[in-house]
Structure 1
Amino acid sequence: MDTNQYVKDKQLVIFELDNVLFPEKDYLLQVYYLFAQFIEYSEQKGAGPIIEFMRAEYEKSGTAHLFENTAKQFGIDPKYQYNFNLLHQNARLPLKLLLYKNMLSLMQELVVDRKKIYIVTAGNAEQQLNKIKQTEWNGLEQYLTVYFSDELNQPKAEIFQKILNDNNLSPKEALVVGANNFDEEQSKLINLPYIVSLEIYK
């Protein structure tokens, strides 16, 4: 992979977190595992079938109504939705989150070339921070500057512009790496070059 083609004329690169630097499912499936273990301990319901059901539901329909469907399937008291939600924010994962290999290589190249690395991530700030803390960064953590758009209550485009202003850069000197249409739209609002993370995996 020749990442130089993407960043040779850039001074900084802005990344989203989920499905850009690592698979979101690597976090969620571990949360579901921990929740199933919690239910087994609290309610003496076997964790194995619960874990398998939650994995299948997630793969079929994503996160929407996952707790409700699981609770209905296994007769789990609705009061445990609080614990389910809390685990998303503060779970201590059995396994560290691993960066996509090509993204790790790209970020390491950016550091060597003295280019700045930013993460601008949407979603619950506490949950996103928990992911960051439990990611194996291979020493890159000291080079990261992170913004949580939901916590700041700002559109990503405004945060992108602030990053450019703080570094006295024009849009063409930066790059956004995302994984969804929203990130692309926010980038286009201020004429920031954008690529889908999958392009870097080729």
Structure 2
Amino acid sequence: MDAYQLAKDKKIIIFELDDVLFPAKDYLLQVYYLFAQFIEYTEQKNAQSILDFMRLEYEGKGTDGLFKKTAQKFGLADSYQHNFDLLHQNARLPLKLLLYKNMLEFLQELVIDRKQIFIVTTGDAEQQLNKIKQTEWNGLEKYLTVFFTNELNQSKAEIFQNILNNNNLTAKDALVVGANKFDEQQSKLINLPYIVSLEIYNKYD
């Protein structure tokens, strides 16, 4: 059964943000670009070299310790960590974030079928909100209800259950779309049906 058929009898669909609705790297690489430009302006160090280094480190080893590695490589003061962190929260991106094409089509079908759409996202709430504000939603934004786990200080499972309770629904009325084992585990805690976003991408290939 494909993802949309699975959603047909559901009343609400719950999504994560990063690597579900759009690639997380599309935000992070633009943050790194802006940071590299800032360092070039303040320290007269080559922005392209910094960006190339950060991209390779991120793609090879992820985000852990990325600032420290970059600072060590290019002789940057520890005080620039503040600027690096702040950009993650409030960067004004050169380019809008674009939804995965197949996910956009899926969301549009959900709206046509009058499904309720929720986003429950982890991570720094200010950063996640910044991503949402700079995403090209193609008019879908008015159909979204968003919850930030860090802001509410609740687990995803708790928020899922509150969504069900507030809408007088049971687990069989909902579907969670995620991209990792954590999302799957949180869904299973309250017996919510779960699919990985890849199943939706495959529907439209």
Q: TM-score range by the shorter chain?
A: over 0.9
Contact 2:178 2:196 in 1 (8 A): yes
User: 1:1-202 maps to which residues of 2 (within 5 A)?
Assistant: 3-202=3-202
The 3-state SS of whatever aligns with 1:78 is coil
Mapped partners of 1:89, 1:65: distance in 2? 17
Mapped partners of 2:4, 2:29: distance in 1? 34
Residue deviations 1:56-107 (CA, integer Å, cap 9, x gap): 0000100001000001001011110000000000000000000001111111
Q: CA deviation at 1:199?
A: 1.2
The TM-score normalised by the length of structure 2 is: 0.97
**RMSD of Structure 2 on Structure 1 (CA):** 1.1
For structure 1, which runs of at least 5 residues remain unmatched after alignment? none
Q: CA deviation at 1:6?
A: 2.1
Q: CA deviation at 1:4?
A: 2.9
Contact 1:3 1:106 in 2 (8 A): no
2:12 alignment partner AA: L
Aligned length: 202
The 3-state SS of whatever aligns with 1:76 is coil
Quick one: percent identity of the two aligned structures? 75
1:34 alignment partner AA: L
For structure 2, which runs of at least 5 residues remain unmatched after alignment? none
Q: CA deviation at 1:3?
A: 4.6
Mapped partners of 2:51, 2:71: distance in 1? 12
Mapped partners of 2:140, 2:37: distance in 1? 33
